[in-house]
Amino acid sequence: MFLSIQQSLRVKPLPYWHGLIMCCMACLALLSSPLTWALDSDRKQPLEITADSAELNEGEGFSIYSGNVIITQGTMKIEASTITLTFNDNGIQTMLAKEGPYEGLAYMRQQSEPTETGKDELMEAWGKSIDYQVENEFLTLIGKAKLIQRGNQFSGNKILFDVPKDNVKATGGEDKRVKMIFLPNSN
């Protein structure tokens, strides 16, 4: 079944409640697969998506949000021009954010669980595209990519972040090198 909320109001005279039910189903799919580095309390918070338009294709398992898209859930926030979610019966599989309000870059931030010292950490990411693979918890930033984690900064053309392994790999572009800034240990 294919539904374009924006088009359904203009082309196909579907009842208002039909589109509302479909949007609610997409939100339930999102809630069942929160980002795994999120605070436990974030997972229990409501998910809010705002956009200029939304499209849900339940049969093919994807939804697309376009135009000043903002997704929030607890301390998590994602901002982009377009966000595409793929999902199946188990919930969200991938989240792809493209371009956005920060010099054309998509943006993502997430508060993590406190460290051994009890300090909360904020992870921030920017890129022309931000691709998050939910099942294996893998984040790919492409195009003017930047990742800040525990105060350390990584920038390059492409950044790969394996969340469970806490492993970051960065590559430069044709005319740019990778840049990393590490904070000194405060011990």
User: In this structure, what CATH number is given to the domain that contains residue 53?
Assistant: 2.60.450.10
Domain count, the chain: 1
Tallying the residues shown for the chain, one arrives at 187
> Tokens for 139?
């984040």
CA–CA distance, 113 with 105 (Å, rounded to integer)? 26
Q: Is residue 75 part of a domain?
A: yes
Residue span of the structural domain in which 23 resides: 2-181
CA–CA distance, 2 with 5 (Å, rounded to integer)? 10
Model's pTM, two decimal places? Answer: 0.75
Interior/surface letters 55-64, b for 16+ CB within 10 angstroms, e for the rest = bbbeeeebbb
**Is residue 40 within a helix (H) or strand (E), and if so which, with residue range?**
helix 40-43
Q: Is residue 122 part of a domain?
A: yes
Q: Is residue 175 part of a domain?
A: yes
Q: Give residue-wise pLDDT tens across range 28-70.
A: 444 333 444 455 677 678 878 999 999 999 899 999 999 999 9
Q: Is residue 187 part of a domain?
A: no
